[in-house]
Amino acid sequence: MMRIEDVMTASPVIAVLTITDVRHAAPLARALLFGGVSAMEVTLRTPDALECVRIIADEVPDALVGASTVMSPRDLYAAYKAGAAFVASPGSSAELLDVGLSAPMPYLPGISTATELMAAYERGYDHVKFFPAAAAGGVAMLKALAGPFAKVKFCATGGVTRQSAPHYLAQPNVVCVGGSWLAPVSLVEAGDWEAIENVARATIDDLSLAPANSRKGR
């Protein structure tokens, strides 16, 4: 089974997608993939989110598609049945943490405080989502957590922008970031897949050229 480390190292940025029209799912995923962003998560915030996961998994098999905004074990298993390669949650209830340990695909729990991180770490999670990153202290918070939690690696998500992404990725404990800027609503609704591909490619080029990412071997 794929590990969450594999998901987090697939791309320096995981595309965060809230898809309102199932017809957009496959072409959006292809555009991101062609632009160099291979990992993407569909947020379970719309009625057809699971169907979008299924479509991407079936029609764009080279994309690493997961489901986020998972709020319960029921959501986790529904995402798995839809074809999600991984799941992520904005927070981390005790029930989800327990179920995630034996889930049939990798689970990335969300934390925003040291207390929440301790609860996840005690159960064996050393890769977590830091959410909402910007509102929860951003880079400064990640630097603070690095001391007592030296073995933990983060995906920083929530309020991260194309401009701020390099600053997060410069931190030794940050493996990747989540970005919704890769799929602007206006471009998705217009079906401008070429423009989205260009945004993805430019983002990957920027992050690949950043000195901090070069030191990490990206």
CATH number (domain holding residue 169): 3.20.20.70
What is the number of structural domains in the chain? 1
Q: Length of the chain in residues, anyone?
A: 218
Question: Tell me, what's the pLDDT at 214?
Answer: 42
Cα separation of 109 and 69, whole Å?
Answer: 10
The reply to whether 129 belongs to the active site is: yes
Q: What is the pLDDT along the chain (218 residues), one digit of tens a residue?
A: 799 999 999 999 999 999 999 999 999 999 999 999 999 999 999 999 999 999 999 999 999 999 999 999 999 999 999 999 999 999 999 999 999 999 999 999 999 999 999 999 999 999 999 999 999 999 999 999 999 999 999 999 999 999 999 999 999 999 999 999 999 999 999 999 999 999 999 999 988 865 554 435 44
The tokens describing 100, both together, are 């995630």
Cα separation of 130 and 107, whole Å?
Answer: 14
Residue 117 lies in a domain: no
Residue 137 lies in a domain: no
Residue 152 lies in a domain: no
- Selecting among 5, 95, 122, 129, the annotated active-site residue is 129
Residue 200 lies in a domain: yes
Q: Which residue has the tokens 């299924």?
A: 54
Phi, psi of 107 (to 5 degrees): -120, 130
Q: Which residue has the tokens 């400064």?
A: 140
Residue 135 lies in a domain: no
Contact at 8 Å (CB) between 46 and 67? no
Q: Which residue has the tokens 């410069």?
A: 170
Residue 150 lies in a domain: no
Residue 25 lies in a domain: yes
- Selecting among 41, 116, 143, 153, the annotated active-site residue is 41
Q: At what angle do helices 25-34 and 49-59 cross, to 10 degrees?
A: 50
Domain limits for position 74? 4-108+160-215
Residue 147 lies in a domain: no
